[in-house]
Chain A
Amino acid sequence: MRRQIPFGLVFIFGIFMVFQFFVPHEKSEWVYEFLLDWIIVIGIFALALGIWSLFKVSVEKIKQGKEGGNYSYITLVGLYMMVAFGFTQQTGEGWGLYFLWIMLCSACIVSLMRLRASTDSGKKRMWALASVGFLVAAVLVAIFDDAWAFFLYTPEGLENSMFEIFFDHIMMPILATMFSLLAFYIASAAYRAFRARNVLASLLLLAALLVMSRFNPVIPGAEYVANASNWLMNVPNLAAQRAIVIGIGLGIVGTALKIILGIERGYMGRG
């Protein structure tokens, strides 16, 4: 019975969603909108689960003394700080004890992580006391400092300059740098992989050279190269991509039908 009810629900909602697409009636639209809302509600639980999972994995890394485990502190403190910046904003000119509050909360998180990672009962007690101490101090600072406030339901937190500074000057350069490193790896990989070993490899090599050279004015016969490259993109590439897209589409329909009809049951944890 425990397995039959979910299968029944999947069947009912799956069939409903298929037919709803073709029935533009007011009531079917209402049910459809209602279901869309529910997906978001369920998703919020997944977010909480994700944060808890991240905390657990980070603590495990510290507990097992894995190499680079100390970076877990940065992960969780970073997560907390961005959330905190998003929900707080200064109310006057200065920041008051805001940064002390951030430090106290960060220390509380680190203590909690140490508490979960410790196996010795004496150390556990020490970290428990430390985390409670930091938490109490953070709460007191939050209550008595008027220079800033919490904005949980209003958008003031979005204008927190710390949030913008951290995003614009830390997050963006880090991510952009990580991605730009790819250029070097691609260059090295292209040098090693593009060898005309056989006919197919030669075709791949030729196509890569043409697409890379398109619109490059230094290449002799740039106009012809550009035309050849456009032809490659618009004819052979288009045909192959179309075949792939249609194949994927049919595969999705097949898999969806198997799930709706209860033939594919892998999502229940057992085949």
Chain B
Amino acid sequence: MELFERLMKLDRRWVFLLLIIVCVWAYASSFSVPILVMPEVQSIYDKVEGLPEGSVVLVAIDYDPNNLAELHPMTYALVEQCWRKKIKTIFTALSMNGPGMCVQAIRDITDSVSRDKEYNGVMYKGREVVNGVDYCFLGYKPYYAIVILGMGQAFNQPYPTDYYGTPLDEVPMMRGIINYDQVDLVVDISGGNITDAWISYGQGRFGFDLALGLTGVMTAQYYPYLGSGQVIGIMGGLLGAAQYEKLTDNPGRAKDGMRVQLPAHLVIILFIIMGNVGFFANKLRLRREGRA
């Protein structure tokens, strides 16, 4: 087989091998990747930064462990920013495995907020984040569209109790919070089509400010809603998460992940170029030989 034909028909195991070598090398290395912030991510950060203490943000954890790498860092950066600024947070999990993800995030972020830390030059004292006072986790309910519509009437309609079984009317934080009217921002962090329901049934019907955190493959699909103003901002994939981490000055797993993702993309680009060089060279050779 000729060299150019080989370039076109390389065994896929070589692709896998090179990719894993590059990923492992990048993960073990310590270089950092410069992150440029896009306006759609900046707008979410600005919105949260502009909220006064005591405001309410609803964070919808609508993803499963499959999307952990891309979406968990968004949750961590966003919720930590809220809690440092003493913004109250309502969590919902409309994806089946969402509660597990949410519980893990709450546990880790609570731990992080308990320590003194400096963000963007501002020192924040560590404090204890209290369930029912600083946040309320509503848990999972099936039929997300119905739940989103129900919360528009009253939170205690689809969720008579919070995740831990406390009647919602007895949760101190939820006093005076009836429905979306008392929520300053809804952030849907999602790895599936629950986002469509948040846009159509939630934002479309009740008109709240909605921001999205999406997986990389979903992002392009939701740009029309950004243009139409139905969505105030989008964090797209690992890159979006890394940008939010940069804005909040809270580098975490997304920044680490970008160190792996960029070389991996370069490997893919290299293989695409190789395939095309082989394709054109082969075409040229066949034309010269009068076979094409």
Contacts and interface: CB of A to CB of B under 8 A. Distances in A.
Interface residues of A, number: 55
B269 A176 contact: no
Given A36-B157, A197-B279, 5 more contacts: A155-B164, A175-B97, A183-B19, A212-B265, A233-B219
B265 A175 contact: no
Interface stretch (B8-16, B76-84, B112-120, B168-176): B8-16
8 contacts: A33-B150, A33-B153, A167-B97, A184-B16, A186-B268, A190-B268, A191-B271, A216-B262
B182 interface: no
B109 to A, nearest CB: 16
A205 interface: yes
Determine the main DSSP class of B at the interface with A.
helix
Interface in B134-155: 141-143, 146, 149-150, 153
Interface string A41-52: 001000100000
A39 interface: yes
Contacts of A184: 15-16, 19-20
Interface of B: 10, 12, 15-16, 19-20, 23, 33-36, 38, 64-69, 97, 100, 103-104, 141-143, 146, 149-150, 153, 157-158, 163-165, 205, 219-224, 227, 239, 262, 264-269, 271-272, 274-276, 279-280
Contact of B142 (A47, A190, A237): A47
Determine the main DSSP class of A at the interface with B.
helix
Given A215-B239, A233-B220, A242-B227, A175 B275 contact: no
A171 B97 contact: yes
B143 A191 contact: no
Nearest to A188: B12
A218 interface: yes
Interface string A76-95: 00000000000000000000
Contact of B269 (A178, A186, A212): A212
Contacts of B262: 216-218
B235 to A, nearest CB: 14
Contacts of A191: 10, 12, 15, 268, 271-272, 274-275
Nearest to B199: A245
Contacts of A241: 220-224
Contacts of B268: 186-187, 190-191, 212
Contact of B67 (A179, A186, A215, A226): A179
Contact of A176 (B66, B221, B265, B275): B66
Given A40-B146, A168-B100, A212-B269, A226 B153 contact: no
Interface of A: 21, 29, 32-33, 36, 39-40, 43, 47, 154-155, 158, 164, 167-168, 171-176, 178-180, 183-184, 186-188, 190-192, 194-197, 205, 208-209, 212-218, 226, 230, 233-234, 237-238, 241-242, 245
A18 B78 CA distance: 37
B69 A180 contact: yes
Contact of A233 (B36, B103, B223): B223
A238 B34 CA distance: 27
Contacts of A188: 12, 15-16
Given A171-B97, A183-B264, A178 B149 contact: no
B220 A237 contact: yes
B265 A158 contact: no
Nearest to B270: A191
B68 A172 contact: yes
Contact of B279 (A21, A196, A208, A215): A196
B251 to A, nearest CB: 16
A252 B164 CA distance: 38
A10 B15 CA distance: 54
Contact of B164 (A39, A158, A168): A158
Contacts of B146: 36, 39-40
Given A158-B164, A233-B223, A241-B224, A192 B275 contact: yes
